[in-house]
Amino acid sequence: MNKKKWPAALLAAILFLSGIPGTTASADDGNFRIEWSRARIDGSRTGCVSPSADDVEKSLGRVKGGRYHAPNGKVYKGGTIADVASVVISAQPVMAPVKRVIGHSPEAMILEYPECALSDMFIDVLMSAVEKESGKKVHVGIGNFGGIRVDMPEGDILLDDMLSMFPFKNSIVYVSLKGRDVRAILEYMAATKIQVLGGVRIKVSDGQLVSATIDGAPLDDDATYGVATISFLLNGGDGLYVGKNALEIRNFDDIDIIDVMLDYVEGETAAGRDIEYRTDGRAVILD
């Protein structure tokens, strides 16, 4: 697998243009505090939506004579709004390469806890890639929901969608663990938050791990398991220490998450298949 090289692109967060509410700033005992909330960029404020390579003006509007003409017809005379709009619009030619369509999804995959089609797809693809690169059997996959930043859209999938979905520079890793150490990770998740899992099926009740099976058999504390994960989770990321007590660690530091996910999407597309996935009940909260 060859690591892909991506062109540098200007990334701008435009709160007014995107219509993201709930962003405030306040001073507290001399410390500057910022609070924010997430919302979909749905054009509710100015009509702006995420553009493709060939519909920039329709999606983002235009700046002329120091005035910003928003897609919904509103006109803003100069000031910060027009300046910011000008920066975002002028950046679009640089962004054009990542607006390429690389696949199609017949329905949106919405990120949901404790399991969803998108998280299952992510970890299953990761497990397959780690098994291929390591040449060793992978029994379990451990990822994190925080590493998946946006939903899979319905319809055309742009390269930009995938880069936004998996933006972090985390490499794929093979770890060999005793079953008791896998159990310790699962028990921590049960008591805090279940993260993205593959290969293992768990049931949790009242913060306790009720059951865990791998390949249809109960998790064996004395067995040795191959685990696929990412570099961020080896030593404390999201509270997980997947590398603790490892019998072996192989970090494929030249292969990032985005590399394996793009290989999967582009491979499915080349084979004439849509990008779609289904949950299988691998993570169940009983209460």
Query: What does the pLDDT look like over 30-65, one tens digit per residue?
Result: 555 656 555 666 677 889 887 878 889 999 999 999
| For range 157-184, the mean pLDDT | 96
Whether 132 has a pLDDT exceeding 90, the answer reads: yes
Whether 114 has a pLDDT exceeding 50, the answer reads: yes
pLDDT at 96: 87
Pair 242, 162: CB distance under 8 Å: no
pLDDT at 1: 62
| For range 203-221, the mean pLDDT | 97
pLDDT at 44: 78
**Residues of each domain in the chain carrying CATH 3.90.780.10:** 103-285
For residues 268, 274, 275, 276, the Cα torsion angle rounded to the nearest 10 degrees is -130
Query: What whole-number distance in Å separates Cα of residue 22 and Cα of residue 32?
Result: 17
Whether 119 has a pLDDT exceeding 90, the answer reads: yes
Verdict on whether the full-model pTM lies above 0.85: no
Q: Which of 12-16, 86-90, 108-112, 157-161 has the lowest mean pLDDT?
A: 12-16
Query: What whole-number distance in Å separates Cα of residue 255 and Cα of residue 275?
Result: 22
Query: At residue 191, what is the residue type?
Result: A
CATH topology of domain 103-285: 5'-nucleotidase;  domain 2 (3.90.780)
Whether 116 has a pLDDT exceeding 70, the answer reads: yes
Query: What whole-number distance in Å separates Cα of residue 157 and Cα of residue 6?
Result: 17
Pair 143, 119: CB distance under 8 Å: yes
CA 259 to chain centre: 13
Query: What whole-number distance in Å separates Cα of residue 220 and Cα of residue 189?
Result: 18
pLDDT at 95: 87
Written as one string, the DSSP assignment of the chain is -PPP----------HHHHT----EEEEETTEEEEE-------STTT------TT-HHHHH-EEETTEEE-TTS-EEESHHHHHHHHHHHHHHHHHGGGG-EEEEESS-B---SS--HHHHHHHHHHHHHHHHHH-S---EEEE-GGG--SPBPSEEEEHHHHHHHS-S--EEEEEEEEHHHHHHHHHHHHHS---EEESEEEEEETTEEEEEEETTEEPPTTSEEEEEEEGGGTTTGGG--TTTT-SEEEEEEEEEHHHHHHHHHHHHHHTT----------EEE--
pLDDT at 31: 56
pLDDT in tens, 10-35: 333 333 343 433 334 334 445 556 56
What is each CA distance from 27 to 23, 30, 33, 50, 149, in whole angstroms? Answer: 14, 6, 6, 33, 29
pLDDT at 86: 94
pLDDT at 24: 41
| For range 161-177, the mean pLDDT | 96
Whether 122 has a pLDDT exceeding 80, the answer reads: yes
Buried b / exposed e over 75-104, threshold 16 CB at 10 Å, is: ebeeeebbebbeebbebbeebbebbeebbb
Nearest to 141 by CA among 243, 230, 229: 229
pLDDT at 40: 62
pLDDT at 162: 96
| For range 173-196, the mean pLDDT | 98
Q: Which of 41-45, 131-135, 233-237 has the lowest mean pLDDT?
A: 41-45
Tokens 């998946």 locate to 148
CA 148 to chain centre: 2
pLDDT at 33: 60
| For range 182-195, the mean pLDDT | 97
| For range 248-267, the mean pLDDT | 97
| Mean of all residue pLDDT scores within the chain | 88
pLDDT at 26: 39
